[in-house]
Amino acid sequence: MTSNIHNLTRSTDDVVIVGGGLAGLFCALKLSPRPVTLISAAPLGQGASSAWAQGGIAAAVADGDSPEAHAADTIAVGGGIVDEAIALGIAREAGLRVHDLLAYGVPFDRDLEGRLAVGREAAHSARRIVHVRGDGAGAAIIATLNEAVRRTPSIRLIEGFVAEALLTEDGSVTGLQLREAGNLAATPVMIASRTIVLATGGIGHLYAVTTNPTEANGSGLAIAARAGALIADPEFVQFHPTAIMTGRDPAPLATEALRGEGATLINADGERFMAPLHPLAELAPRDIVARGVFAEIAAGRGAFLDARQALGARFADKFPTVHASCIAAGIDPATQAIPIAPAVHYHMGGIAVDTRGRSSIDGLWAGGEVSSTGMHGANRLASNSLLEAVVYAARIAEDIAGQAIPSPARLPQALATPRAGALDASVVKRLRAMMSANVGVIRERDGLADAVRSFAALEHAATSIVVRNIATTALLVAASAWSRRESRGAHCRADHPAEVPALARRTMTTLAEAHDVADGLTEHSTPRIAQSMIA
């Protein structure tokens, strides 16, 4: 049921879940009938990256496949830093979670014999992706779970509010500071709870070109980091190699499943360019394909996805979402190649969590893209993100359900952050441009150093809490990218092009450590761009 937020600003023993995507919705449903308050920045279902997921859910449900093979594929593309036990555990739970979704009513595609139909995507050794009408899995799952949440009386739904600060006392959470989305002049509202789940999504809108919704701006990661949470692997940002370049923000996506069906990547001269770069050509791991596409564009040859032979007239029926995006831009993918470019798609990093989804702060769990479990390593395997989200949402719910209801927290006497200055859209635009230019597909020392100094200066000077939070997350990503002096998975350093075996480990860092990096870089240099960003 939908509730007025002002009824909930006193002490509450509810579990508070922040985020209306797959992880948040699934966790809330799994906790039923325990009282849950679910907070969503956008109207339910409209601000979640999971609703836009075109691939599906990876699960070894077909004959001849196995969780062990799924985990092996995950490990193979993860750049040597996948937590192998985590990957295997998630793969083994995949079938159970798919059947949970079926029980809620998700209409996964079936074959002629009534079994779950499975497709293949890049770097999977078998057909193991369960879809909904080709490219509609995310939207169908979110729509189904939205209905289930609205029917569940134990879930109190608050829409149109963002969490701008995490409240803590003696290393434990005590609540959240919220504000009406898009209204910095609104009076902040505090909600007290000792059991909080962050499921706020990724960081795509810190970059100029992304496939993510505008709500994916790293705010959940920022508020956890500002409260002292341990952050894992923030430098690893996955670029989807085939965003459709039509000038839209966010950029529409041409799902990887198109290449699974035989679509090829060509330049303006009609030449396939992936075959010389990797034995799997178009089905190589995403980081390799993204760099291949980036190189063609940088060389002035352009990059295109060509499904004319592989699909032709079948395109509209097989991939209706992609077809609609193309037609809206004046492109007929049945007869024309689709212009593409790499776009930020998924963040492997996030709030560090254990096998139960617990963060380093007592009473704080994290699930979905805002978290980092160790499953994805340096490069996520296609369609593993929705799987991880449902597996960890269920684990978090089970962990919380097994605990006694904590005594209600007390609200603090003062705001956690009194800042509420006007949002300067030009500052945000420049930050996004710098992230794309300096912390993008290809990175190097000087550009990263400029970014670190600039984001630290912006974070310090920002009068808007929104700008401060996005600067915090940008700083964490840039500082860790500057510190990892090698290329691994999605993290590519032009000045350190090789993997360094001694660095084959996950990054564990804090905001304080990112500030130390920035301080060290600022001692003998002034950021060249920082002043223009905050002027």
Which pLDDT tens digit goes with each residue over 9-53? 545 668 999 999 999 999 999 999 999 999 999 888 776 776 666
pTM above 0.75, yes or no: yes
CA dihedral 294, 295, 297, 302 (to 10 degrees): -110
- Residue 380: active-site member: no
- Kindly report, residue by residue over 161-212, the tens digit of the pLDDT: 999 999 999 999 999 999 999 888 888 999 999 999 999 999 999 999 998 9
The label of the residue with tokens 């006694």 reads 404
Instruction: Round to whole Å and give the CA distance between 337 and 235.
Output: 33
Q: What is the pLDDT of residues 258-295, one digit of tens each?
A: 998 999 999 999 999 999 999 999 988 888 899 999 99
Amino acid code (one letter) for 256: E
Q: How many CB atoms lie within 10 A of CB 171?
A: 11
pLDDT of residue 286: 81
Q: Per DSSP, what are the bridge partners of residue 243?
A: 253, 341
What pLDDT is attached to residue 133? 83
Going by C-alpha positions, the residue among 348, 352, 362 that lies closest to residue 399 is 362
- Give the separation between CA 336 and CA 50, rounded to whole angstroms: 29
Burial of 426 per CB tally in 10 Å (0-12, 13-18, 19+): exposed
Asked if 469 contacts 459 with a C-beta cutoff of 8 angstroms, the reply is no
Q: What average pLDDT is seen over the chain?
A: 91
Looking at the predicted structure, is the pLDDT value of residue 4 above 70? no
Beta pairing, strands 196-198 & 364-366: parallel
pLDDT in tens, 302-333: 999 999 999 999 999 999 989 999 999 999 99
**Average pLDDT of span 348-354:** 98
Q: If you ran DSSP here, which 8-state letter would residue 204 be given?
A: G
| Residue in the structure block whose two tokens are 């178009």 | 282
Please tell me the predicted confidence (pLDDT) of residue 535: 43
pLDDT at 247: 84
User: 3-state class of 297 per DSSP?
Assistant: helix
Q: CA nearest 20: which of 475, 486, 514, 389?
A: 389
- Residue of 97, 286, 291, 430 marked catalytic: 286
